[in-house]
Structure 1
Amino acid sequence: MSSEPPAIDRQAAFSGTREVAPALAVDVGRLQTYLAAHLPGFAGPVTLRQFKGGQSNPTYLVETPQRVYVLRRKPPGRLLASAHAVDREFRVMRALFAQGFPVAEPLVYCGDEAIIGTAFYVMAHVDGRVIWEPAVPGVSIAERGAVFDAMNATIARLHAFDPAVIGLADFGRAQGYVARQVRRWSEQYRASSDEAIAEMDRLMAWLPDHVPDSPRAAVVHGDFRLDNLILAKDRPQVLAVIDWELATLGDPIADFVYHLMTWVMPPAPTGAGVGSLVGVDLAALGIPTLEDYAATYARRAGLTEIPHLDTYLAYNFFRLAAICRGIAGRVRDGTATSDSAALMATQVRPLAATAWRYAQKAGAR
């Protein structure tokens, strides 16, 4: 008899809202009083529900008789250093919104932990669809292809901004970005891990001496993928890019190659984790191959090709394995956001193994 947990329907499991989990409950009265004083046009009463999707900062639907908002907060409890920086999310979204880039309008930030227990911000609600399955079921071939092209154009547009021009010159240090990320996620992996994974140890030894130099400063999202986009309900248009927790100044190629992992992602038997296009008949569905999709981005970015692809894939799979280990650690510590968070622990080993395979393709021994 199999001990594997049952597979989940990603779209059903991660879409919509639910009752707020007891560990993430907030004082609605105190929140309502704060918003009435600091958010122009706000008027209660408030109904609060928690979004099902996402594994990081708890996100809530805030409904009032006049308007719907979204609140995003740091989770309570013991947190890894530098994680869950909602103040940085608010800042980058405000800068990008001013440029007409598709993000939800950021409305108010509150660093006073006395209001709901942690820092939080409120943004406008964007009414659209989030697609959790990367094969984009239930649409025509033409629309599916257009969704992928819109996604590609959106990340290329993000990377084209000059950080200094949009007020983000000091949002991070682009030089040495990948090397710093390797150090950061190695530290966070060690802080949250309670098991030995040989591939992670090998990667932490090999990557520091083999990461590519960052080509230029760009605003990077850090977790750009289909299910972090809100699409228009009736057309393949990106209305908002969401989940900016990992945004900084960094290497745009690293940011884009993270996005490419979907094509070669180890499928999770349970359906948890990041969606995968492995085993999907791309041509039949109108989805571009990894190579064609990468070439389209390269043209938009003024490049002839994506350099150091295997090394960037090794780095990104390593980074995602460390992120999943951190999510599993929050389950252990009782601060996890999603019901499916415990399933993320099962992905750490496959992600680490995939990362090491790409490192070997790049010359690791």
Structure 2
Amino acid sequence: MVRDERLPEPDAEAVAGAARAACGRAVAEVTPVSKGINAIYRIDFADGDAAVLKAATFNTTAELRPEPYLLETLRDETALPLPEVLAIAEDGGPLGVFHFLLDYREGRQIRDLDGLSWSERERLVRAVGRHLARLHEFRLAETGAPVAADLGADDCGPLRMTDPGDGATPTFTTGDGVDSWGEVFASLADHPVSLVEQVQCGDDPGRFADLVPEIVAAFDGVADDVRDPASPTVLHRDFHLDNLVLAPEADADGGVGIRSVLDFGDPYVGDYRLDLAFAEDAVVRVQLPTADRAADLAGLLRRSYARERGIDPSEIVTREYHYYLLVQRCRWMAVAVDWDACDDPAAVERAYRSFVRERLAEIE
């Protein structure tokens, strides 16, 4: 759910006023952060501390509200490394729009996987598997945190909150009706599939035109094909490198130290495999190494995840998992590939085609 029209982003003076009002601290500097779809700013306080302010200029208040409350709850209930919520401005404060402040986490971010050694990529994959598993171990219905949960075992969909007005306890919910996970996934899948159907493929709008009918046919009736998860979990839906702040050095157990996980701006409740497939695409297949090496890393990610959760890795790759992988590949096929920057565009195209056909074969 987004606004009918994006709100103008507030200027630095207004943001500084909002930070002062929310935290009661003098502000030295405000810097816009060009990340995400809502307005985001780095706040440097006069005492040397730093924070991040996020304002609902694109999402509606109802859509963005769960993020800070969910972060507070996850910090209390899990071992997931998350920024501390410093303030939540339900009334909009000086900005006149819902916003919140988080402590700023210093660290590094990796955007060029090709710059990592094989051992570094393995450590990164293991760390991602562990931390994603820690998120999925969280159960809303079991939390004793200040935020309640109005969710049953079969509830799936976008995670929203009741309006906490007049001091009432805010409550997590997935909405008025109960949709099947298949119906929820069908709505999530519609956008990337429709992009591929439009064949928006960079320099060559016909590059994957021959695959489009098969992809569209594969998702016809997907709402009935995708089964409900046995135990729905809270999904991040964007567990990729831009949302991971890494420590400068490896952590004590030999992994890449993930200092913080960011951006819970659009959480859902559903099948854990969706998050895992999206993470696999982001940290393994986004630049598509050779098929054997990609398979090795994907297996490592799943084993790391399964070990942390105490499940059998063989449970992960179901028919649904191939649907989830295909959705992510559709996004890249449609809009995200810079073909001019590829060292060997023909090889990348062949890899995409091979990957898509493998997923289609598993779905049939």
TM-score under structure 2 normalisation?
Answer: 0.68
1:92: Cα distance to partner?
1.3
Counterpart for residue 279 of structure 1: 290
Q: Deviations over 1:100-157 (max 9, x none)?
A: 42011112223445744643221000011111123452xx665543332222111111
1:317: Cα distance to partner?
3.1
For 2:92 and 2:259, locate their aligned partners in 1 and report how far apart those are by CA, in whole Å: 31
For 2:193 and 2:92, locate their aligned partners in 1 and report how far apart those are by CA, in whole Å: 28
For 2:115 and 2:237, locate their aligned partners in 1 and report how far apart those are by CA, in whole Å: 22
Q: 1:240/1:171 Cα in 2 relative to 1: closer, same or farther (>3 Å)?
A: farther
Residue in structure 2 matching 1:104, options 83, 91, 95: 83
Task: Report the 3-state secondary structure (helix = DSSP H, G, I; strand = E; otherwise coil) of the residue aligned with 1:30.
Answer: helix
Output the amino acid matched with 2:149: A
For 1:188 and 1:277, locate their aligned partners in 2 and report how far apart those are by CA, in whole Å: 23
Counterpart for residue 161 of structure 1: 138
Output the amino acid matched with 1:248: Y
Kindly indicate whether the alpha-carbon contact (under 8 Å) linking 1:282 and 1:288 is maintained by their aligned counterparts in 2.
yes
1:189: Cα distance to partner?
5.8
Kindly indicate whether the alpha-carbon contact (under 8 Å) linking 2:50 and 2:104 is maintained by their aligned counterparts in 1.
yes
Output the amino acid matched with 2:13: G
Residue in structure 2 matching 1:215, options 191, 211, 230: 230
Q: 1:342/1:262 Cα in 2 relative to 1: closer, same or farther (>3 Å)?
A: closer
Output the amino acid matched with 2:56: K
Kindly indicate whether the alpha-carbon contact (under 8 Å) linking 1:84 and 1:245 is maintained by their aligned counterparts in 2.
no
For 2:328 and 2:121, locate their aligned partners in 1 and report how far apart those are by CA, in whole Å: 28
More strand by proportion, 1 or 2? 2
* 2:286 maps to 1:300: no
Structure 1 unaligned residues grouped into runs of 5+ = 1-22, 266-274, 329-340, 345-349
For 1:301 and 1:200, locate their aligned partners in 2 and report how far apart those are by CA, in whole Å: 33
* 2:126 maps to 1:146: no
Alignment root-mean-square deviation, CA = 4.0
Task: Report the 3-state secondary structure (helix = DSSP H, G, I; strand = E; otherwise coil) of the residue aligned with 1:107.
Answer: strand
Kindly indicate whether the alpha-carbon contact (under 8 Å) linking 2:83 and 2:102 is maintained by their aligned counterparts in 1.
yes
Counterpart for residue 27 of structure 1: 11
Residue in structure 1 matching 2:274, options 254, 258, 272: 254
Structure 2 matches for 1:173-212, cutoff 5 A? Answer: 173-174=155-156, 178-186=181-189, 188=191, 195=198, 198-199=213-214, 201-212=216-227
Kindly indicate whether the alpha-carbon contact (under 8 Å) linking 2:326 and 2:359 is maintained by their aligned counterparts in 1.
no
Output the amino acid matched with 2:245: I
Counterpart for residue 243 of structure 1: 263
Counterpart for residue 41 of structure 2: 60
Kindly indicate whether the alpha-carbon contact (under 8 Å) linking 1:109 and 1:120 is maintained by their aligned counterparts in 2.
yes
**Taking every aligned residue pair, what percent have the same amino acid on both sides?**
20
Task: Report the 3-state secondary structure (helix = DSSP H, G, I; strand = E; otherwise coil) of the residue aligned with 2:234.
Answer: strand
Q: 1:128/1:177 Cα in 2 relative to 1: closer, same or farther (>3 Å)?
A: farther
Q: Deviations over 1:291-312 (max 9, x none)?
A: 2331332233222213444532
Kindly indicate whether the alpha-carbon contact (under 8 Å) linking 2:43 and 2:51 is maintained by their aligned counterparts in 1.
yes
Residue in structure 1 matching 2:63, options 75, 80, 85: 85
Q: 1:291/1:98 Cα in 2 relative to 1: closer, same or farther (>3 Å)?
A: same
For 1:218 and 1:203, locate their aligned partners in 2 and report how far apart those are by CA, in whole Å: 26
Task: Report the 3-state secondary structure (helix = DSSP H, G, I; strand = E; otherwise coil) of the residue aligned with 1:223.
Answer: coil
Give 1 or 2 for the bigger CA radius of gyration: 2
Q: Deviations over 1:310-348 (max 9, x none)?
A: 5323234326746997xx7xxxxxxxxxxxx8979xxxx
1:241: Cα distance to partner?
0.7
Counterpart for residue 124 of structure 1: 103
Q: 1:321/1:109 Cα in 2 relative to 1: closer, same or farther (>3 Å)?
A: farther
1:237: Cα distance to partner?
1.4
Q: 1:115/1:260 Cα in 2 relative to 1: closer, same or farther (>3 Å)?
A: same
Q: 1:65/1:244 Cα in 2 relative to 1: closer, same or farther (>3 Å)?
A: same
* 2:356 maps to 1:360: no
Structure 2 unaligned residues grouped into runs of 5+ = 1-6, 157-177, 200-211, 251-255, 340-348
Output the amino acid matched with 1:48: T
Residue in structure 1 matching 2:27, options 34, 39, 44: 44
Counterpart for residue 72 of structure 1: 54
Q: Deviations over 1:56-103 (max 9, x none)?
A: 334322223222111223344xx6xx7993212112111112234201
Output the amino acid matched with 1:154: H
For 1:94 and 1:238, locate their aligned partners in 2 and report how far apart those are by CA, in whole Å: 18
